[in-house]
Structure 1
């Protein structure tokens, strides 16, 4: 019984093995070239977005909002009648503000003169039939729209265009890296990192135009959609190897 106690005591005195964690990072020793490459694929747009709305003025805020609601209901009904589904019509802003006249009367400075309240209600409308954009703009004006912004053209599904742009950007990056490798006396270029940013189906430059129309605006407003581009930008790094 005494010997068992001694053995147990000796066992408790033995050191416990330590658990070690090792992390090894191998730095890239070859020269590295960093490239930023952008490729754009263009195509005819299949969708246009137009901002439109109505503005009304009245002596009271409540009356300005009531008048605005009547005109906006008429505008929305006209858009739906023209074949635009409700899911493509979205309110983008409602505003009510007091209006003042700051002009001088009789050449004498005077304080601002209250002239009423102005209410506005704005819509963002997606038009999915490019051929009818001009006609639909006229429909908006005839239905009481007091302002039209756009159109801004785009591609509803830019995925195939982005795939083309991505492949072209990677091919361009590899060709440039190989050129630098050979020019610097190296055998090849090995890809070590890749990052992407893209913009799909949007115009390469802003195409937004603001206009105010009179009730007797000429019919069949001409609209030229042109082409829009999907762009992919790659930031790549290649290690140059002997």
Structure 2
């Protein structure tokens, strides 16, 4: 049942990702692609034409300065007027195209805002799905009234299993030895009823059906006992254990 719930949750996350990708393509990537393949390509082309016209104009000016005969001077000046006219015309064309960039930038800014909004919604949805899954799995692994009746302290309320119970962090530090029991402390065997994830370094993580040794300490009160598993030691709630002797 828990695997089914995990699968359903990841299907929801997959659908949310699919919707996010589709929204991003429609609202951000497609407009940007259209701009780059349309207006931007035209602007780049016209700027290259303008550069060519400027080089032609500079060449005509150079020929006017170097003309030695009257006829050559007149021809060079005529070519200069034509080159100047074509250059001025190309300047106006390029200027108009560049002035249109302002409105294009405003449009792309709105597209970026839409993309950011879609991304925020996607991560919020995924976060909510995982929270719901943790609540569902916590409910599955919560102790029943029958199990609580087998414990020495049946009236205490057990803690719900946290998400770290099902996805342990391998980099988490091991449980530390909080205090050493005195030689006269009576140790008992206990069976772990269900998984328990340590909340801090003073506790120890346990797996259901493990067999461990426990003993009581006055400083822990009635709700906790000190548990030992191999070389690890830490406190654990009594409600998660079945004392065997």
Place the TM-score, normalised by the shorter chain, in its bin. under 0.3
More strand by percentage: 1
TM (normalized to structure 1)?
0.24
Q: Counting helix residues as a fraction of each chain, which structure ranks higher?
A: 2
Higher relative contact order (CA 8 A, sep 6+): 1
Q: Which has the larger radius of gyration?
A: 2
> What TM-score do the two structures reach when normalised by structure 2?
0.24
